[in-house]
């Protein structure tokens, strides 16, 4: 559910929504959501000073009942 929420949020702010993918991984410190976007959308997703990325993280943490980390990366990696 959290991965779908992140994907929905990010697809609505990027220019290339088809390049957005979210994968969920469990680790000892909680859940990790890896978000991949087109390299041209990195700035849009992170935002000035990281404000957009921090807002996305805050929304997801509010929805979750456990520790969740959201990592944003581009598709080249």
Q: Contact, 24 vs 18, CB < 8 A?
A: no
CA distances from 2 to 12, 31, 71, 77 (A): 16, 10, 13, 23
Q: What's the mean pLDDT when you consider all of the chain? A: 92
List the one residue out of 39, 33, 40 whose CA is nearest residue 9.
33
Start-to-end CA span in the chain (Å)? 25
Domain 1-74 has CATH 3.30.300.20: yes
Using the predicted structure, report yes or no on whether residue 73 has a pLDDT greater than 90: no
Q: What does the pLDDT look like over 18-55, one tens digit per residue? A: 999 999 999 888 899 999 999 999 999 999 999 999 99
């Amino acid at each position: 559910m959290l991965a779908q929420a992140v994907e929905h949020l990010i697809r609505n702010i990027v220019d290339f929504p088809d390049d957005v993918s979210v994968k969920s991984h469990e680790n000892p410190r909680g859940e990790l959501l890896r978000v991949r976007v087109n390299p041209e959308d990195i700035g849009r997703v992170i935002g000035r000073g990281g404000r957009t990325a921090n807002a996305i993280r805050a929304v997801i943490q509010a929805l979750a009942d456990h520790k969740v980390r959201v990592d944003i990366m581009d598709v080249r990696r």
